Amino acid sequence: RRTAAVIPAAGRGVRLGPGAPKALRTLGGTPMLIHAVRAMARSRAVSLVVVVAPADGAGEVKNLLDEHALPDRTDILVVPGGETRQESVRAGLDALPEDVTDVLVHDAARPLVPVDTVDAVVEAVRAGAPAVVPALPLADTVKEVEPGRPGEPEPVVATPERSRLRAVQTPQGFDRATLVRAHDSVAVNGEGATDDAGMVEKTGVTVVVVPGHEEAFKVTRPLDLVLAEAVLARRRA
């Protein structure tokens, strides 16, 4: 079997605030995207990384990848992304060579995922699970609310039992055909999902969870950058 990683990196990073596209913002002086590519390439199972660049930034991303050291055994492709994360992942899937059987989808915004987490996902897919997500138990209790008018207090409608909830991360791993089928059916039925495993669930395939890692958190808001810099500094110490 051959495993490839698709890295959606075409988002603007609106929640992070003004500046360069999020994937190109630096951590420890190195663009987040480069950290994310290295995190995938560090796994011996991953022989190809497909980077999905901002639609108008594929050239810039190619230059960045040329400037930074990456393992020789890993092939890299760059393709332009779309308006939504889903469209960007689709563009990455469409660029995969025929011989790829297993696919990881990994957010550029999770630059610090440890290689052991990547390998655990790959192993579970190779062992026969068609869809695998790394996940962690939640620290906070979660409430479901009835969204009201802006400014009005929202009534709580349910409190799901916390011990049964998991916060999911990436890389999410899939049997290629399963993931492509899910993207095809979402493209027909409209209505997206916020992650790839969610789309696979909608096709009736069982998704399984493996242990995630604290350091696989997503850089979403400015405070996440502070944490990411601290994690990197601790690694380098």
Interacting residue ranges for ligand CTP, rule: CB under 6 A: 8-15, 22-23, 52, 81-85, 88, 107-109, 218, 220
**Residue 11: CB minimum distance to ligand CTP, A:** 2
Give the one entry of ligand CTP, Mg ion, none that residue 221 binds, where binding means its C-beta sits below a cut-off of 5 to 8 angstroms depending on kind.
none
**Residue 90: CB minimum distance to ligand CTP, A:** 10
> Chain-centre distance of CA 63, in angstroms?
22
Q: Output 45 or 52, the one with its CB closest to ligand CTP.
A: 52
- Find out whether 227 and 109 touch, Cβ atoms under 8 Å: no
What's the distance, Cα to Cα, between the start and end of the chain in Å? 37
Q: Output 48 or 228, the one with its CB closest to Mg ion.
A: 228
- Find out whether 209 and 133 touch, Cβ atoms under 8 Å: yes
Q: Output 26 or 101, the one with its CB closest to ligand CTP.
A: 26
Give the one entry of ligand CTP, Mg ion, none that residue 79 binds, where binding means its C-beta sits below a cut-off of 5 to 8 angstroms depending on kind.
none
**Residue 113: CB minimum distance to ligand CTP, A:** 12
Count of residues that bind Mg ion according to CB under 5 A: 1
d(CA 11, CA 25): 12
Distances (CA, A) of 152 to 141, 142, 147, 180: 22, 19, 9, 41
**What character string, x for contact with Mg ion (CB under 5 A) and - otherwise, covers 57-76?**
--------------------
Q: What angle do CA 76, 80, 83 make, to 5 degrees?
A: 135
Bridge partners (DSSP) listed for residue 205: none
**Residue 220: CB minimum distance to ligand CTP, A:** 5
**What character string, x for contact with Mg ion (CB under 5 A) and - otherwise, covers 10-29?**
-x------------------
Closest to 38 (Cα-Cα) out of 60, 15, 12, 5: 5
**Residue 58: CB minimum distance to ligand CTP, A:** 12
d(CA 97, CA 93): 9
Q: Output 9 or 45, the one with its CB closest to ligand CTP.
A: 9
**Residue 89: CB minimum distance to ligand CTP, A:** 7
Closest to 22 (Cα-Cα) out of 224, 167, 197, 210: 224
- Find out whether 216 and 117 touch, Cβ atoms under 8 Å: yes
Minimal CB distance residue for ligand CTP: 11
User: Which residue ranges make up the site for Mg ion (CB under 5 A)?
Assistant: 11
